[in-house]
């Protein structure tokens, strides 16, 4: 267990300032726990919302970033790390808070309690501007995807499909 204290949008803003990362934390009047709610709150398409999900690969934390309502294919992460799919597990909400300092639905792509290896779906970089978790359930971070890539030193790959010939939903 790393951390029991929740970080805030203030922490995120400080991290961005200290690391010279351009972007804007937006204070909203409504909670944004889902991609759809976040998109409605800022008036954008769901695929402009970026979600950061914490996985464990061989018991080590890995952050996976994708856009919109897309479903991350665990086999793509497993193939990247050359492990079986069962070695890739989605972290539960308590573990996310302990590992990153942020709650599920509020977690930004960076500024965690310690840096995390990061995988970024290639489609995220197709956008000029995206909205990510802003540190609380009523804040979003407006930012350029290239800034996320630079801040996380992320690895860009296709996180949505395991078999490029069949990118649809594949059963586990």
For the segment 156-168, what is each residue's pLDDT rounded down to a tens digit? 999 998 754 444 4
φ and ψ at residue 123, rounded to 5 degrees = -70, -25
Q: Which residue has the tokens 């790959």?
A: 157
Determine the average pLDDT of the residues in 110-126.
96
Q: Secondary structure of the chain: what % helix, strand, coil (to 5)? A: 30, 25, 45
Q: Are strands 60-67 and 118-121 parallel, antiparallel or unpaired?
A: parallel
Per CATH, the architecture of 9-157 is what?
Answer: Alpha-Beta Complex (3.90)
**Residue 169: pLDDT over 70:** no
Average pLDDT of the chain to the nearest whole number: 91
Q: Residue 26: which pLDDT band, with cuts at 50, 70 and 90?
A: very high
- Burial code of 121-132, b = ≥16 C-beta within 10 A, e = fewer? bebbbebeebbb
Determine the average pLDDT of the residues in 113-117.
95
CB neighbours of residue 16 within 10 Å: 21
Residue 34: what pLDDT? 87
Q: Give domain limits for the chain.
A: 9-157
For the segment 5-16, what is each residue's pLDDT rounded down to a tens digit? 689 999 999 999
């Amino acid at each position: 267990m790393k951390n029991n204290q929740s970080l805030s949008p203030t922490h995120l803003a400080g991290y961005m300032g200290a690391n010279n990362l351009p972007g804007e934390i937006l204070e909203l009047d409504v909670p944004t726990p889902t991609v759809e709610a976040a998109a409605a709150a800022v008036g954008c398409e769901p695929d402009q919302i970026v979600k950061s999900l914490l996985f464990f690969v061989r018991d080590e934390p890995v952050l996976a970033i994708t856009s919109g309502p897309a479903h991350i294919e665990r086999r793509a992460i497993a193939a990247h790390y050359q492990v079986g799919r069962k070695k890739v597990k989605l972290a539960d909400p308590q573990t996310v808070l302990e590992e990153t300092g942020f709650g599920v639905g509020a977690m930004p792509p960076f500024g965690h309690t310690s840096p995390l290896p990061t995988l970024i779906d290639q489609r995220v970089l197709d956008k000029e501007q995206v909205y990510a978790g802003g540190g609380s359930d009523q804040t979003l971070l407006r930012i350029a995807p290239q800034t996320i890539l630079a801040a996380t030193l992320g690895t860009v790959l296709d996180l949505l499909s395991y078999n490029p010939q069949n990118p649809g939903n594949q059963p586990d």
